[in-house]
Chains A and B, each alone.
Chain A
Amino acid sequence: MRISEKFSELKKKKEGALIAYICAGDPTPSATKEYVTALVRGGADIIELGLPFSDPTADGPTIQAGIERSLNGGMTPDIYFRTVASLKMHIPLVVMTYYNIIFKRGHEKFVKDCAASGISGIIVPDLPPEESGDLAGFCRKNDVDLIFLVAPTTTDERLKRILAEAKGFIYLVARLGVTGARSDVASSTRELIQRVKTTTPKAVGFGISSGKQAAEIICAGADGVIVGSAFVDIIASGKDVPARLEVLARELKEAISLG
């Protein structure tokens, strides 16, 4: 399913999108299907599935640890695409990885593997638009959305350039810093949501962990929330994981369903 279809479907239902991140292969490749299924059962609208990289500089300690568990569990890009293909989801799947993994596999092969395994979007936190030309070309050819990030520090001039190339949704970075669960919503987050004027859906990530925060962000004008560390924390605990993933997904989804 295309990301844009999902967002227009949710818009009709007056629901915000819940984009749930976990790292594939955390803690083992075989666990992923069960966890993703639990998130979808809880109400996740889009799954952002991490493909682990050894040096994840944009991620905080929680997701770093998840990535480490995944790599130690033997996850590789080959296993990743096989796992994704086996999921057979009826909602959009997005891959989140670092640029060297894509670069090493080759832009064309990576994008084709995405398309073939049912992935509809790619997020690369260390690939700003300036360096994204090659990858963007193959994404267009294969109907895969290359999703760009916008940060509170992004200047208006850069914002214009990014919005012009935006596909799927715009990933708004809620605050300066790396990923990781926090308890409040920064005023800079609201300002950023207001500042980004576009018809492309806006999803906010970095630091969201509760239904209350998620609701505030949707009320502030965002079309979706991206939640990662709070789910990865549950996986890290190793206790009752699928059930608790489902419960948290449901809490978040209910909080952003206004219709």
Chain B
Amino acid sequence: MKRELKSTKFGKYGGQFVPEVLMPALEELTEQYERYKDDSVFNEELNYYLKDFAGRPSPLYHAKRLSKEYGVKIYLKREDLVHGGAHKLNNTLGQALLARYMGKKRIIAETGAGQHGTACAMAGAAFGIKTEVYMGAKDTVRQRMNVYRMELMGTKVIPVKGGSQTLKDAINEAMRDWVANVETTHYLIGSVVGPHPFPTIVRDFQSVIGKEVRTQIMEKEGRFPDSIVACTGGGSNAMGIFHPFIEDDVDLFAVEAGGSGMKVTDKEALHSATLCTGEDGVLHGMRTKVLQNKYGQILESSSIAAGLDYAGVGPELAYLADIGRLKPCNSMDAEALEAFNDLCIFEGIIPALESSHAVAYVKKVAASGELGDIVVINLSGRGDKDLETVMGMRK
């Protein structure tokens, strides 16, 4: 599984499908990342920020009442307690610091739910780097508090009015900006997606999640869990917790958004279950599984959770699914809402709707024994940002 950074692919997935303008920037990024990833000064500074700014390590919490309710021993990896309320800051601190070491003056990013954008705003402010975030116009409405949070921290939020006005279009627009400003700007991709080396860089910076779980679960249980469950849109929290366990006898479950059903038309899917139902394609600089029609036009995906609402998925996840190392599965909007309620009632934790998909899958299959005796759920974010959505659904 160890892979040279020089290879741009995970099996047949990944690669660099970008305009020529960007190729030199990707080469530069690969070189610079290679240079700094094991550099002691870089890592010391990053670890300082992860600990004293982000609040790491995040706890691994034995959710006793939920365990009893669902009939399996459940640990929650509390990424919701990381500064900003999600795992996203792990990656933005890493990449923003890398951008600073590379001498870039400006950071741009895309955001879906606004979590990544918020985490960029935090890192940008902490390191004093000018930050601009592209966000689908539809998402700026359904996540307006996150827009305001970003603005409070000095980040400019640019609503994207093209296409479906969601994450996919925000990525398109951020790529256009990068093409125009590549010499001064770092594109801080928020998930394990995009052209090489981004899927590797983001995975590495997020792997702090899984590394901590390894230590924490040994302290608590004296052994590894039987399974790890994580929600998957682009797949950054999933790869972050999965990657350190790839070589171990631990089952990995990537839970996608089943939306309101598996129905697909020529233009849209009612879900975002890319690993479950997508086909090979090329989107946003990478070859991966993609929701597309028979001509290769990308479908508009759908989910109650903006952070899962994406027609592509990280190429390494597509590869791991192909070789059978992880199991792609999904939870519907309604199931995620139920799990959201369960976590509120039984544990006093308000989870992000994204993370609720992972919890919902555990609820659905725990009784079957598929997950074994001990399961770790990556609770990738907190749900404060989703309160309006949930209130709307309950009406």
Kindly state whether residue A252 has any CB partner on chain B within 8 Å. Answer: no
Q: Which of B180, B282, B297 contacts A178 (CB 8 A)?
A: B180
Encode A102-116 as 1/0 by CB contact (under 8 A) with B: 111100000000000
Encode B266-292 as 1/0 by CB contact (under 8 A) with A: 000000000000001111110100101
User: Are A149 and B20 in contact, CB atoms less than 8 angstroms apart?
Assistant: yes
User: Are A53 and B17 in contact, CB atoms less than 8 angstroms apart?
Assistant: no
Whole-angstrom distance between the alpha carbons of A167 and B307 in the complex?
43
User: Are B296 and A103 in contact, CB atoms less than 8 angstroms apart?
Assistant: yes
User: Are B176 and A60 in contact, CB atoms less than 8 angstroms apart?
Assistant: yes
Whole-angstrom distance between the alpha carbons of A60 and B177 in the complex?
10
Encode B119-134 as 1/0 by CB contact (under 8 A) with A: 0000000000000000
Kindly state whether residue A144 has any CB partner on chain B within 8 Å. Answer: no
User: Are B182 and A104 in contact, CB atoms less than 8 angstroms apart?
Assistant: no
Residues of A within 8 A of B182 (CB): 153, 176
> Interface residues of A toward B: which range?
35 or more
User: Are A173 and B17 in contact, CB atoms less than 8 angstroms apart?
Assistant: no
Task: Say how far B63's CB is from chain A's closest CB, in angstroms.
Answer: 40
Chain A 172-204 residues near chain B, CB threshold 8 A: 173, 176-178
User: Are B21 and A151 in contact, CB atoms less than 8 angstroms apart?
Assistant: yes
Whole-angstrom distance between the alpha carbons of A78 and B295 in the complex?
9
User: Are A153 and B25 in contact, CB atoms less than 8 angstroms apart?
Assistant: yes
Kindly state whether residue A158 has any CB partner on chain B within 8 Å. Answer: yes
Task: Say how far A72's CB is from chain B's closest CB, in angstroms.
Answer: 10
User: Are A177 and B179 in contact, CB atoms less than 8 angstroms apart?
Assistant: yes
Chain B 156-181 residues near chain A, CB threshold 8 A: 162-163, 168-169, 172, 175-176, 179-181
Q: Which of A53, A103, A178 contacts B179 (CB 8 A)?
A: A178
User: Are B23 and A53 in contact, CB atoms less than 8 angstroms apart?
Assistant: no
Residues of B within 8 A of A55 (CB): 163, 168-169, 172, 283-284, 298
- A127 in contact with B17 given A55-B168, A101-B296, A103-B282 (CB within 8 Å): yes
- A151 in contact with B19 given A55-B298, A64-B162, A176-B180 (CB within 8 Å): yes
Kindly state whether residue A122 has any CB partner on chain B within 8 Å. Answer: no
User: Are A77 and B172 in contact, CB atoms less than 8 angstroms apart?
Assistant: no
Whole-angstrom distance between the alpha carbons of A153 and B175 in the complex?
16
Whole-angstrom distance between the alpha carbons of A58 and B178 in the complex?
11
Residues of A within 8 A of B23 (CB): 128, 130, 153-154, 158
Kindly state whether residue B16 has any CB partner on chain A within 8 Å. Answer: yes
Residues of B within 8 A of A154 (CB): 20-21, 23-24
User: Are A100 and B24 in contact, CB atoms less than 8 angstroms apart?
Assistant: no
Residues of A within 8 A of B298 (CB): 54-55, 100
Task: Say how far A178's CB is from chain B's closest CB, in angstroms.
Answer: 5
Encode B40-62 as 1/0 by CB contact (under 8 A) with A: 00000000000000000000000
Kindly state whether residue A125 has any CB partner on chain B within 8 Å. Answer: yes
Kindly state whether residue B18 has any CB partner on chain A within 8 Å. Answer: yes
User: Are B20 and A177 in contact, CB atoms less than 8 angstroms apart?
Assistant: no
User: Are B24 and A131 in contact, CB atoms less than 8 angstroms apart?
Assistant: no
User: Are B175 and A57 in contact, CB atoms less than 8 angstroms apart?
Assistant: yes
User: Are B180 and A100 in contact, CB atoms less than 8 angstroms apart?
Assistant: no
User: Are B163 and A54 in contact, CB atoms less than 8 angstroms apart?
Assistant: yes
Kindly state whether residue B294 has any CB partner on chain A within 8 Å. Answer: yes
User: Are B297 and A103 in contact, CB atoms less than 8 angstroms apart?
Assistant: no
Kindly state whether residue A155 has any CB partner on chain B within 8 Å. Answer: yes
Residue of B nearest to A153 (CB): B24
Whole-angstrom distance between the alpha carbons of A4 and B186 in the complex?
39
User: Are B17 and A150 in contact, CB atoms less than 8 angstroms apart?
Assistant: no
Residues of A within 8 A of B175 (CB): 57
User: Are B16 and A128 in contact, CB atoms less than 8 angstroms apart?
Assistant: yes
In the assembled complex, 11 residue pairs joining A and B whose CB atoms fall closer than 8 Å, in A order, are: A54-B163, A55-B168, A64-B162, A68-B162, A100-B281, A101-B295, A128-B18, A151-B19, A153-B182, A153-B183, A173-B21
